[in-house]
Structures are given as C-alpha cells and as structure tokens.
C-alpha cells in the first residue's frame, strides 16, 4: 500500500469551498507516494473539460482522483473520470464538508471499491525540499493550412516526431550539461556526478559564480522557494553525436518545418513548458519527462489555435505564461494571444472561467499577464531590487504576529535611473515603490512613473504651478494619493497622526490594512518620507515594530548593505519623530480580475 500526502496549500483551498460541487484532483506519484497538489472544480459557469484543464498543470502533475463537497456527487461521470487517472490504478476520493476540512474523509479505489486511507499534511518546507521544477523554452515553426483538421494533424505529427526519434537534446542553462535520448558518453560522464535530479541543482549553483554584475549583489527575487531548472532545447544535426571526439557536434536552436507548400501558412509555436520534478528521481529518467513537458505545452498551444478558428478569428501568435497564485503552491500555465490585451472582453471572460474553475474569488487578479511568474532569468540586472525584506533579521517583538505586504514590489530609493534626487526625492521614490506593487500584482500595465511624469501630472491637474516641472520640490502623502488615482485609478485612505509618538497606537489599524489590502504604505512626516511594508504586533501588550523601506539610501543595489545597515529593516516606535505629525497614504486594492 502506498502513502497519501496532501499539501497544506490545497487543504486551505478545500476549506474555502462553500457550495456543493465536485472537482478533480491533480498530483504526482513517486516512491509509492501520491502527493495531491491541485484541484479544479466543476461549475455551471463556462464549464471546461477536465482533460483540457489538465494541460495547464506542469508535466508529471496529473489527474489522480476526485473531490466532492457536501452531498453533491455526479455518479454518472465518476467511472469516465477515474479511467483517465493514468498514473495510478488506485484513484483518490476526498469528501469534504462545506467550508471546513474537519471530518474530511480520504478514500482510495481498490478493485472498484472504496477503502479508507489516512493522509499526511505536507507543509511548504517539505514540499520545497522534495520537489523542484524544470522550465523548457524553445520555438517551432509549422507550415499548415489554417483549418482545424490541418493544424491538429500537423501539430500531432510534430509531437510524434519529438517523442519518437530522439533527435532533441536538452541543455541545462549556464552549465555544460547536455541530456540526449541515447546513452552517450556525455550522459555517462555526468551520471557519475549527477545520479539524481537534486544533483543538477548543485551543478547549477556551482556554475553561478561570477554570473551577476559586481554592483548587483544578492539580488532579491520573487517569493517562490522552488528551485527551477532552466533548460534549452537543441536539435542534433550530427550523424554521430554520441562520439565525444567529433569536433563537428553542434546543437543549433531548434526550428521544425513540416508539410510546407504554397497554400500553407507559417505559424510560429513558442513553447514554454514546465514539469514538476521529484528531486530523488534519477537523471536517467529526466529526458522522457522533458519530452512530455514539451508535448503537453504543444497541446496547450494547439488548444489556443483551435479556439481561434472556432471563433472565426484570424490566427494570432499564442504566448504561454506561467502563474503561481499564492493559494496554489504550484505553477499553472495559460496561453494568451499576442494581439489581445488583458482589458478586452474575450480576455476578461477567459480569466473569469479560470477563477471559477480553480475556486478563486473574482476580487483580485491572478491570471493577468502582469501576474505571470518572474523567473530569475526574467529579472533584469538594471531593475531595482525586488522584495528586499526577504531574509531580513527578526524584529524582536515577543509573541508578536507579523502583517506584511502581500506580493512583489521593487525597492526605489535615491539616485536610481540616473536621477540625482538626494535630499528631495524620497516621497517620489516611495510612490514609485507603491506603483511597482500594483504593476507586479497585475492591477495595471502602466509603467512606474518618473519624477517628471509625477510633476507633470500634478501640474496638469492644477495642483502645482508650471514651475514645478523639473524642480526639486518635495511632495507629500496627499500628492502621492492624487498620483495613484491619476496614474492607476487607485483610491487611498489617508491616516492622520498628530505626532510620531501616536503611531504606537495604530497597530490594529495597520494590521487590518495589511490583512485586507496588503499594499505598501507611504508615510510622510516633517521633511522625510518612508515606505511601510509590514508590522510585527503583539495586540495584548501593544508592542509594535514597523518594517521600513527607506528611500534615502544612495548606494548600489547591494542587499547585504541594505539589510545589514537597516535601509530595509524593523524599526521601533522611537524611529518616528515625536515632534512631527505624519500622514499615511494607504492604497486600496481595486476589484479587478
């Protein structure tokens, strides 16, 4: 008998379902253990086939069972769904009460009968220790008539060629590690040092030395604790690529063209494929997993092309984006059309279906392009540091509870973007940090405004005279709230505090803000402005500390200095001037999906 594990992320999602319905469970099966990661729920709104939904999950994360909430259960479809649980002969059934996992029953189908099975809860630390992901990027071209049958046939042929002939090779980015479909000398060489996938992570870490510019030390990254193996796809054109002495072995970028004729259109297929990897898997099994991930990604792209033809649209290039909503604990892939913006009706309906199918509220954006996962290779070195509070020293508040900014932001401070704003630009920089949060969370695609953009806007709304443009004049919390509304259509609450000493009594209000809104706060008082990105609060004793981003920092993007010298760190209530009044600009999330 095997073990059953359920991630704590999924259990929390199960707890949030308040209506009677059924759904499908998705997970992985390794070492006689089924680990349940994800689910989708069947609703009457934009019902999608679970087979189509499954393509959005990473390769190796497959249909493994069913979940029912309350007494609702579609027994007519149970046999059809369970026969598609290909990775296990013993599908799982979870039976949950509405709005609670207390009393949840977990069962397993054995020879067509249900048997009770206990489950273990898998906490995030254990998940990240046991699993990682691969990301494969490549491009194909197909030449095809723009008909449903022709596109299906051509992409099916392409998938068969990829899966069958072993002509592809995979290169682990930033290393000299190649993986081919045959037992080559190269594979033998690395099998000595890389028997398991976890060894590949070590190889990548060892190859990173000196990869970043000297002035960009310890760049903070988005809050994903998964290691992601970035992999390129290459095509072997050598007649004998297993010969390590052959100097002519080359692996050019892959482009496959099939069935070319005068009546065919050239359609580029941009493949961005992910797979979940159990770290104890042998590297010898990785090739087949990567091939499967590419084929699954091609099927997702094909799905998008077929949808366009059903809707009588002109063929547009499909682009794959990866998302990781905080509640998921795994990645999910979506394909959007290059020439359709997120604000168009068709895209809104597409996202609305996704929210319903994954049991997510339609009050926050999760699947806009701006919400896509930013992998380390996607972050530009000339951008500000992201999420500089990650890894900061503890606050020291005894028995306190932390309430932190929810999501990603960039740390803007003096002297960036070749602007010498030392002594006057702190509130501008705090505003830029706030704008970056809304941009990175997908609420807007509007770029972060420059100092001149901010000044010009305030002049245009007649808040400032024309002489304000290109000046070194300060702005405060009121101007910040005006700009948020003007640039992003975001409303803000303004909290007035008569003195810095009174901020010690605002713990409950600030906790509520970070719990419900989760946005960074701009605070201005006297001649200084700062950004509050969290608090640590003991509500019984009233002890309170503030997690501060200080925009007055003037040096290079060195996280060690920024955290070590307190430019990003916890501050006590004594940090605020007791002789100055303060205004806090507290941005409110719009209702957007």
pLDDT of residue 80: 66
Does residue 495 register a pLDDT over 60?
yes
State the catalytic residue, choosing from 24, 426, 483, 585: 426
Clarify whether 334 is annotated catalytic. Answer: no
pLDDT of residue 219: 47
Do 247 and 317 belong together in one domain? yes
pLDDT of residue 76: 55
Q: Pick the closest to residue 520 from 547, 491, 486, 483 (CA basis).
A: 547
pTM score of the predicted model:
0.84
Report residue 380's pLDDT band, with 50, 70 and 90 as the boundaries: low
In angstroms, the CA 361 to CA 39 distance is: 15
The arithmetic mean of pLDDT across residues 541-559, rounded, is: 95
Q: Pick the closest to residue 517 from 493, 496, 539 (CA basis).
A: 493
Residue the block writes with tokens 């209530």: 573
pLDDT of residue 253: 39
Clarify whether 552 is annotated catalytic. Answer: yes
Please answer whether residues 194 and 206 qualify as being in contact, where contact means their C-beta atoms are separated by less than 8 angstroms. Answer: no
Q: Pick the closest to residue 567 from 558, 578, 577 (CA basis).
A: 558
Please answer whether residues 426 and 558 qualify as being in contact, where contact means their C-beta atoms are separated by less than 8 angstroms. Answer: no
Q: Pick the closest to residue 300 from 320, 286, 315, 317 (CA basis).
A: 320
pLDDT of residue 191: 56
Does residue 81 register a pLDDT over 80?
no
Which residues lie below 8 Å from residue 86, measured CB to CB, with a gap of 6+?
62, 63
pLDDT tens readout for residues 271-291: 999 999 999 999 989 999 999
pLDDT tens readout for residues 124-181: 999 999 999 999 999 988 888 888 999 999 999 999 988 886 778 899 998 888 888 7
Count structural domains, the chain: 3
Answer yes or no: is 592 within a domain.
Answer: no
Please answer whether residues 38 and 51 qualify as being in contact, where contact means their C-beta atoms are separated by less than 8 angstroms. Answer: no
State the catalytic residue, choosing from 342, 536, 543, 550: 550
Can you spell out the DSSP letters for 307-357? HHHHTTPPP--EEEEEE--TTTSS-EEEEEETTS-TTSHHHHHHHHHHHHH
Do 58 and 205 belong together in one domain? no
Does residue 183 register a pLDDT over 70?
no
Count of positions (residues) in the chain:
593
Answer yes or no: is 366 within a domain.
Answer: no
Answer yes or no: is 160 within a domain.
Answer: yes
Residue after which a domain boundary falls, among 92, 122, 152:
122
Strands (E) located in 59-177: 62-69, 92-97, 100-110, 113-116, 120-122, 131-144, 168-172
Do 107 and 151 belong together in one domain? no
Does residue 343 register a pLDDT over 50?
yes
Locate 565 and state its tokens.
């010298």
Do 92 and 166 belong together in one domain? no
pLDDT tens readout for residues 41-61: 875 555 557 778 899 999 999
Which residues lie below 8 Å from residue 149, measured CB to CB, with a gap of 6+?
none
SS3 12: helix
State the catalytic residue, choosing from 95, 126, 137, 552: 552
Locate 288 and state its tokens.
């087949």
What is the Cα 526 distance to its own chain's centre?
39
pLDDT tens readout for residues 211-261: 444 444 544 444 457 899 999 988 655 533 333 333 333 333 344 444 445
pLDDT of residue 311: 77
pLDDT of residue 289: 95
Q: Which CATH number do you get for residue 89? A: 3.40.140.10
Q: Where is average pLDDT lowest: 361-370, 512-521, 543-552?
A: 361-370
pLDDT of residue 250: 36
In angstroms, the CA 354 to CA 94 distance is: 22
Do 90 and 217 belong together in one domain? no
Do 174 and 300 belong together in one domain? yes
Answer yes or no: is 277 within a domain.
Answer: yes
Under DSSP, the state recorded for 456 is H
pLDDT tens readout for residues 345-361: 889 999 999 998 898 88
Answer yes or no: is 473 within a domain.
Answer: yes
Q: List, in sequence order, every residue forming a beta bridge with 530; answer none if it has no partner.
A: 523
Residue after which a domain boundary falls, among 96, 122, 148:
122
What is the Cα 417 distance to its own chain's centre?
27
Q: Pick the closest to residue 524 from 455, 463, 581, 485 (CA basis).
A: 581
Residue after which a domain boundary falls, among 97, 122, 147:
122
Answer yes or no: is 382 within a domain.
Answer: no
Do 87 and 9 belong together in one domain? yes
pLDDT tens readout for residues 286-310: 999 999 999 999 999 999 999 888 8
The arithmetic mean of pLDDT across residues 167-196, rounded, is: 74
Strands (E) located in 219-337: 228-235, 265-278, 318-323, 332-337
Residue the block writes with tokens 């200095």: 561
Do 44 and 71 belong together in one domain? yes
pLDDT of residue 255: 42
Range of the domain at 183: 130-340
Report residue 78's pLDDT band, with 50, 70 and 90 as the boundaries: low
pLDDT tens readout for residues 415-450: 999 999 999 999 999 999 999 999 999 999 899 999
Locate 539 and state its tokens.
């509500």
Angle at which helix 477-488 crosses helix 451-460, to 10 degrees, equals 90
pLDDT of residue 243: 37
Answer yes or no: is 370 within a domain.
Answer: no
Q: Which CATH number do you get for residue 502? A: 3.90.70.130
Do 134 and 117 belong together in one domain? no
Please answer whether residues 557 and 382 qualify as being in contact, where contact means their C-beta atoms are separated by less than 8 angstroms. Answer: no
The arithmetic mean of pLDDT across residues 406-423, rounded, is: 95
Do 155 and 219 belong together in one domain? yes
Do 511 and 462 belong together in one domain? yes
Report residue 111's pLDDT band, with 50, 70 and 90 as the boundaries: confident
pLDDT of residue 254: 44
Answer yes or no: is 536 within a domain.
Answer: yes
Give the β-pairing of 178-180 and 521-525: unpaired
pLDDT of residue 207: 78
**Residue % of the chain over a pLDDT of 70:** 86
Give the β-pairing of 568-572 and 543-549: antiparallel
Strands of 21-30's sheet in order across: 113-116, 100-110, 92-97, 62-69, 21-30, 33-41, 3-7, 120-122
Locate 183 and state its tokens.
């037992």
3-state secondary structure 563-576: HHCCCEEEEEHHHC
pLDDT mean across residues, the chain: 86
Please answer whether residues 290 and 170 qualify as being in contact, where contact means their C-beta atoms are separated by less than 8 angstroms. Answer: yes
Do 163 and 297 belong together in one domain? yes
- 593 C-beta neighbours (distance < 10 Å), count: 17
Which residues lie below 8 Å from residue 402, measured CB to CB, with a gap of 6+?
395, 534, 535, 536, 537
SS3 454: helix
Q: Where is average pLDDT lowest: 78-92, 132-146, 470-484?
A: 78-92
């Amino acid at each position: 008998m095997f073990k059953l594990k359920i991630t704590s992320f999924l259990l929390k999602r199960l707890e949030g379902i308040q209506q009677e319905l059924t759904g499908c469970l998705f997970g992985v099966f390794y070492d006689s253990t089924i680990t349940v990661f994800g689910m989708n729920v069947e609703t009457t709104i934009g019902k999608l086939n679970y087979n189509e939904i499954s393509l959005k999950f990473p390769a190796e994360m497959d249909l493994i069972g069913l979940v029912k909430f309350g007494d609702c259960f579609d027994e007519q479809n149970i046999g059809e769904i369970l026969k598609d649980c290909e990775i296990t002969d013993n599908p799982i059934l979870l039976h949950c009460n509405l709005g609670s996992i207390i009393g949840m029953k977990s069962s397993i189908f054995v020879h067509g009968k249900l048997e009770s099975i206990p489950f273990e809860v898998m906490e995030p630390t254990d998940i990240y220790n046991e699993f990682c992901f691969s990301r494969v990027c490549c491009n194909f071209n197909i030449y095809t008539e723009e008909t449903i049958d022709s596109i299906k046939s051509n992409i099916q042929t392409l998938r068969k060629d990829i899966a069958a002939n072993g002509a592809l090779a995979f290169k682990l980015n930033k290393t000299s590690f190649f993986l081919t479909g045959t037992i080559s000398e190269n594979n033998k060489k690395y099998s000595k040092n890389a028997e398991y996938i976890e060894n590949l992570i070590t190889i990548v870490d060892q190859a990173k030395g000196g990869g970043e510019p000297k002035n960009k030390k310890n760049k903070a990254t988005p809050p994903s604790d998964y290691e992601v193996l970035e992999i390129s796809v290459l095509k072997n054109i050598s007649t004998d690529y297993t010969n390590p002495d052959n100097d002519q072995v080359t692996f050019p970028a892959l482009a496959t063209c099939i069935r070319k004729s005068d009546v065919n259109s050239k359609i580029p297929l941009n493949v961005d494929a992910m797979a979940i990897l159990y770290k104890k898997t042998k590297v010898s099994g990785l090739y087949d997993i990567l091939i499967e991930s590419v084929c699954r990604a091609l099927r997702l792209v094909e799905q998008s092309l077929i949808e366009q033809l059903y809707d009588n649209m002109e063929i547009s290039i499909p682009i794959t984006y990866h998302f990781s909503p905080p509640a998921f604990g795994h990645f999910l892939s979506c394909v959007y059309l290059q020439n359709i913006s997120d604000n168009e009706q068709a895209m809104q309906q597409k996202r609305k279906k996704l929210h319903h199918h994954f049991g997510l509220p339609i009050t926050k954006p999760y699947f806009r392009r701006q919400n896509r996962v930013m992998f380390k290779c996607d972050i530009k070195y000339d951008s500000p540091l992201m999420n500089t509070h990650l890894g900061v020293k503890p606050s020291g508040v005894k028995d306190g509870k932390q309430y932190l900014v929810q999501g990603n932001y960039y740390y803007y401070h003096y002297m960036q973007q070749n602007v010498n704003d030392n002594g006057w630009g702190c509130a501008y920089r705090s505003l830029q940090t706030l704008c970056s949060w809304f941009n990175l969370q997908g609420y807007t695609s509007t770029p972060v405004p420059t100092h001149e953009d901010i000044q010009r806007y305030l002049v245009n709304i007649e808040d400032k005279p024309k002489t304000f443009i290109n000046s070194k004049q300060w702005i405060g919390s009121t101007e910040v709230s005006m700009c948020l509304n003007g640039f992003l259509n975001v409303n803000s609450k303004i909290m007035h505090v008569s003195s810095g000493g009174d901020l010690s009594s605002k713990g409950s209000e600030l906790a509520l803000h970070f719990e419900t809104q989760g946005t960074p706060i701009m605070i201005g008082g006297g001649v200084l402005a700062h950004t509050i990105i969290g608090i640590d609060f003991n509500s019984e004793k009233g002890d309170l500390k503030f997690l501060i981003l200080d925009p007055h920092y003037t040096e290079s993007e060195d996280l060690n200095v920024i955290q070590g010298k307190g430019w990003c760190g916890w501050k006590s209530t004594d940090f605020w001037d007791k002789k100055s009044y303060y205004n806090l600009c507290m941005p409110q999330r719009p209702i957007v999906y």
